[in-house]
A and B are shown apart, each in its own frame.
Chain A
Amino acid sequence: MKLPRRALLRLAAGAGAGAAALPAMPRVAGAQAYPIRPITAVSGFAAGGPTDVVMRILAERMRITLGQPVIVENAAGAAGSIAVGRVARAAPDGYTLSVGHWSTHVVNGAIYALPYDLLNDLEPVARLPSNPMIVVANKTVPATNLNELVSWVKANQEKITVGTAGPGSGTHVSGIYFQKFTYTRLTFVPYRGTGPALQDLIAGQIDVIVDQATNSLPQVRNGAIKAYAITATSRLASAPDIPTVDEAGLPGFYVSICMACGRPRARRMP
C-alpha cells in the first residue's frame, strides 16, 4: 500500500519541481485550470479558535479569486504539530495548505523534535494578520502603569504568579520573555488554554498574563482586569488608549502572534 502512494507523491513532486525550474515553458492546459476542486487549509487547533476564525474569514474571500472553495479543517493535537505534519507530507499540488502561527511554525521547533522541517518542508504562501500580546494584571495589582508594574514585580518576585495556556504556549514564551526583560524569576501557573487562565486572572487567583490582545481586550474594556502595554511598535487601532511597550517603559519587548499560510514544498526526485 505504501509504495504506490510514495511513488505517486514523488511523481507529483517531480512534476512540480520541473515546472518551477522551467518558467519559460508554455503552460499546459492542466496548469491553467488550477484550481479545479476545493482547497483544504489545515489548522492545528479547535474550531472557533483564533486560527480557525482568521482563516475562515480569509477563505470566504479567497473563493472569489480562486473560483473554488477553501475549506478549513481543524486537526487539533500535539500543540498543532499533527496538522503541520500532515501538510508537510501532503502532495505539493496546491490543494493542501497549512495555516498556523508563531506557536506552530516557530516556537514548536525549539521545544519538540518535529518530524518535519519548518523552513524547508513548507513553501510560504502569504503572511496573514497578526495579533500582539498585551500585558494584563488582576485588578488588585497596585501598579497604574507599566513602569510601576515592573517595579512591583521586581520587589515582589517570589510571590508573583504568571498565568499561561500551558508549557510552550504563546503566553508561556511571552512570560519567559517578560522575565528576561525585567531581570526577574517568576512563578508560572499553567492552565488548559488562555480562557481558564483569564478567568483566574479576573478572579484574582494569579497576578499577570502576557496574553494575546484579542483574548484579553473584552475583559479590559469591561474593567475586569488592568492593561499596561501592547507588545508592538504601534498601538492597536481597536484599543488606541493602551500604550506600546516602547512608550510605557519596556522598549523592545515585542511579541506578536503572526499568522501565516504555506503549502507543502515540492521535493526533488531522488
Chain B
Amino acid sequence: MIEKLSVAAMDAMADPAVRQRYGELGMEIPPPQQQTPQALRSHHRQEIEKWWPIIKAANIKGE
C-alpha cells in the first residue's frame, strides 16, 4: 500500500510535464534515490537534528 503511494509519487516526479511545471515554479526535484521513503526518513531525522537546537536556542515563541 505504502509502496503503491510512493511509486505513484515517484512516477509523477519523473513525468516530463510535471517536471516542467515544477521547474517553472522554481522548485527543485530531488534525484530518484532521494525521493524514497527510506531517504525521506533519514533526511527528516537529519533536518530535526540540525534545526531543533538552533530554533530552541533562539527561544522562538509561536503565534
Query: Chain A interface (Cβ within 8 Å of chain B)?
Result: 31, 34-35, 39, 50, 53-54, 57-58, 60-62, 64-66, 70, 79, 93-94, 97, 102, 105-112, 118-119, 123-132, 166-168, 172-173, 176-177, 180, 213-214, 217, 232, 236-239, 256, 258, 260-263
From B55, which residue of chain A is reached at the shortest CB distance? A110
Q: Are B27 and A58 in contact (CB under 8 A)?
A: no
Please list 23 pairs of residues, one from A and one from B, whose beta carbons are closer than 8 Å in the complex, sorted by A's number: A34-B1, A58-B9, A61-B11, A62-B12, A93-B1, A97-B5, A102-B51, A110-B60, A124-B37, A124-B41, A126-B9, A126-B37, A127-B30, A128-B9, A131-B25, A167-B63, A168-B63, A176-B55, A176-B58, A176-B60, A236-B26, A238-B24, A261-B5
Residues from chain B with Cβ under 8 Å of A105 in the complex: 44
Closest chain B residue, CB of each to CB of A254? B50
CB within 8 Å for A54 and B62 given contacts A97-B5, A106-B47, A110-B55: no
Nearest CB on B from A43, distance (A) = 15
Tell whether, in the assembled complex, residue B52 and residue A65 are in contact, meaning their CB atoms are under 8 Å apart.
Answer: no
- Cα–Cα, bound, A188→B56 (Å): 17
Whole-angstrom CA separation of A35 from B3 in the bound complex: 12
B interface, CB within 8 angstroms of A: 1-2, 4-13, 15, 17-18, 21-30, 34-41, 43-45, 47-48, 51-52, 54-56, 58, 60-63
Q: Smallest Cβ distance from A44 to chain B, in angstroms?
A: 13
The number of inter-chain residue pairs (CB within 8 angstroms) is: 168
Cβ of B57 to closest chain A Cβ, rounded Å = 9
Would B5 and A111 count as touching, CB distance under 8 A?
Answer: no
User: Would A57 and B18 count as touching, CB distance under 8 A?
Assistant: yes
What 9 pairs across the A-B complex have the smallest Cβ distances?
A61-B12, A126-B9, A129-B27, A110-B55, A65-B8, A124-B40, A124-B37, A62-B8, A94-B1
Enumerate chain A residues within 8 angstroms of B17, measured Cβ to Cβ.
61
Q: How far is the CB of B12 from chain A (nearest CB, A)?
A: 4
Known: A126-B10, A214-B25. A176 touches B54 (CB 8 A): yes
Bound CA–CA A258/B45 (angstroms)? 13
Cβ-defined contact, B23 with A238, below 8 A: yes
